[in-house]
Chains A and B, each alone.
Chain A
Amino acid sequence: MLIIDCPWCGKRPEIEFRYGGEAHIARPADPSALSDEEWAEFLYNRTNPKGLHAERWRHIHGCGRYFNAVRDTVSDFFVVTYKAGEQRPENLGPDVDGASIGGDK
């Protein structure tokens, strides 16, 4: 089970959280202006990377708030969590190794 660091509540077990999918997908400012291709891109296409992934989580059995995380989808190691609305942290590097950072897994 993953240990997830909620930016408000601290480290809690995975079963307290609900996964929210890829982060930083902004709802279109002017929905009626979108073509079908753009709608499909917004609704369905996902990056689904093998490596670092910015994603949303919700602390549903805790504070109830959404936040974002960057997780390595190969090791499931959480590199960083940050509050909703903040930018994805830069320069995390392509090969973040959980052991070298000394984080929880």
Chain B
Amino acid sequence: MQKFSGFELFRRALGGHKSWQPQWRSPEPKAEYDVIIVGAGGHGLAAAYYLAKEHGITNVAVIERGWLGGGNTGRNTTIVRSNYLFDESAALYEHAVKLWEGLSADLNYNVMYSARGVLMLAHNHHDEISFKRHVHSNRLNGVDNEWLTAEQVKEFCPPLNITSMRYPIIGGALQRRGGTARHDAVAWGFARAADARGVDIIQNCEVKAIRRGPSGAVEGVETTKGFIRAKKIGVSAAGHTSVVMAMAGLRMPLESYPLQALVSEPVKPAFPTVVMSNTIHAYISQSDKGEMVIGAGTDAYTSYSQRGALHITTHTLDAICELVPQFRRLRMLRNWGGIVDVTPDRSPIIAKTPVPGLYVNCGWGTGGFKATPGSGNVFAHTIARDAPHPINAPFTLERFRDGFLIDEAAAAAVAH
């Protein structure tokens, strides 16, 4: 791997930047790997990277139906935060935030993590007491989160209209270490770093079946590029998890919904932080390119169509126009949908499965991007040791049987 540095940039500039190599190989699949990861999104690539880096397992293939980072990794609204209510969730997402903080240096790739703060707005008494509960819970878990008055909200994010609206802002919860990262760079950075450690990233290769032996254990995957043998398979297929797991005969507690997002035309820096409001359903930040990045809701029905209805996006734009009146003149450039796999309790599943050798990392629903490095890290641990990391030990498949739900659906600070 060619290391990126200021000196290298300068040296290669003298040569007209002609000596840079591709950042990862495009290998043909080998006959057998120690581990196959299905899905080259951020989570799958991160798992491959940490398998190689922390567990010394480098004979790994990441198999991707399309191109790497082309699914939800490239479709989310790039927010990073860890202010979840329950201990299990706070530990998981905080693990990710700690990795985010050193990720660019670790990968030698600028993922543009920007801790510009995540501000959640309160518009009524219920919001206020619920957010204050989150603040206290987060502090007990060592997660930064603080309550701001309406005036402090205005000072922290001046473009906000806090009074002349149907539901005035009465305060907010601010996680200063929250922020954004560039989602494509996250996929590319993990892909480059994993590839450098020997991981094969096999794109445009669809998994058609999971082959199981007489004992029930996995033997490998049938793909459009032939059969690839492996004793361990990690499924990290986001919205398509139910489809892939069905190949191994497993039914999942998942439903796949389209989640929409949109961006405006790029403008000069005008919005300093990430703002979300559950009550009026607004969700907005500004990318480094200048676009306002807006997250809309999920459509009502399950779908794999990667698109949704216009009334879902106009609903959130209504709220944003009231929240930041100056944005009423912004034109929207693009909108799209990503297919998110939602669990009944809105918490992920990172676990072993009843099928020996088959592992699954799924159920991230509407909020998986923020967890990318942490998720990959504990998933790699689970695959390598055939046992969960203490952080993901509660996030099993069996919790639905045993009744130990991690019910962020009821507790979450944002709409799911």
Binds B, one of A11-19, A80-88, A89-97: A11-19
A68 to B311 CA separation, bound complex (whole angstroms)? 23
Contacts of A2 in B (CB 8 A): 301, 309
Contacts of A65 in B (CB 8 A): none
1/0 contact trace for A34-47 toward B, CB 8 Å? Answer: 00110111011111
Residue contact A74 to B400, C-beta cutoff 8 Å: no
Q: A36-B401, A36-B402 are in contact. Are A74 and B243 (CB under 8 A)?
A: no
A44 to B399 CA separation, bound complex (whole angstroms)? 11
Binds A, one of B9-17, B93-101, B166-174, B252-260: B252-260
Which chain A residue shows the least CB distance to B397? Answer: A40
| Chain A 12-63 interface residues, beta-carbon cutoff 8 Å to B | 14-15, 17-19, 21, 36-37, 39-41, 43-50, 53, 55
A76 to B309 CA separation, bound complex (whole angstroms)? 11
Residue contact A48 to B256, C-beta cutoff 8 Å: yes
Please give the distance in Å from A39's CB to the nearest CB on chain B.
Answer: 8
Contacts of B311 in A (CB 8 A): 1, 14-15
Size category, A interface = 20 to 34
Contacts of B253 in A (CB 8 A): 40, 44-46
Which chain B residue shows the least CB distance to A51? Answer: B304
Please give the distance in Å from A12's CB to the nearest CB on chain B.
Answer: 14
Please give the distance in Å from A52's CB to the nearest CB on chain B.
Answer: 12
Residue contact A48 to B252, C-beta cutoff 8 Å: yes
Please give the distance in Å from A66's CB to the nearest CB on chain B.
Answer: 15
Residue contact B305 to A76, C-beta cutoff 8 Å: yes
Residue contact B300 to A18, C-beta cutoff 8 Å: yes
> Which residue of the partner chain, among B255, B309, B402, contacts A48 with CB atoms under 8 Å?
B255
B302 at the interface (CB under 8 A from A): yes
> Which residue of the partner chain, among A17, A37, A48, contacts B302 with CB atoms under 8 Å?
A48
B231 at the interface (CB under 8 A from A): no
Please give the distance in Å from B2's CB to the nearest CB on chain A.
Answer: 40
B140 at the interface (CB under 8 A from A): no
Residue contact B302 to A43, C-beta cutoff 8 Å: no
Contacts of A15 in B (CB 8 A): 311
Residue contact B301 to A46, C-beta cutoff 8 Å: no
Residue contact A1 to B400, C-beta cutoff 8 Å: no
A27 to B410 CA separation, bound complex (whole angstroms)? 24
Please give the distance in Å from B400's CB to the nearest CB on chain A.
Answer: 5
Residue contact A46 to B305, C-beta cutoff 8 Å: no
Please give the distance in Å from B173's CB to the nearest CB on chain A.
Answer: 31
Please give the distance in Å from A24's CB to the nearest CB on chain B.
Answer: 15
Residue contact A21 to B255, C-beta cutoff 8 Å: yes
Q: A19-B300, A48-B252, A71-B301 are in contact. Are A43 and B400 (CB under 8 A)?
A: yes
Which chain A residue shows the least CB distance to B243? Answer: A50
Contacts of A71 in B (CB 8 A): 301
Residue contact A46 to B252, C-beta cutoff 8 Å: yes
Contacts of A36 in B (CB 8 A): 401-403
Residue contact A73 to B400, C-beta cutoff 8 Å: no
Residue contact A55 to B401, C-beta cutoff 8 Å: no
Further contacts, 7 of them, CB under 8 A, given A41-B251, A46-B253, A75-B305: A14-B300, A14-B309, A43-B400, A48-B243, A48-B302, A50-B304, A76-B303
Query: Can you report 6 A-B residue pairs in the complex whose CB atoms are below 8 A from each other?
Result: A21-B255, A36-B401, A41-B251, A46-B254, A71-B301, A73-B305
Residues on A facing B (Cβ under 8 Å): 1-2, 14-15, 17-19, 21, 36-37, 39-41, 43-50, 53, 55, 71, 73-76
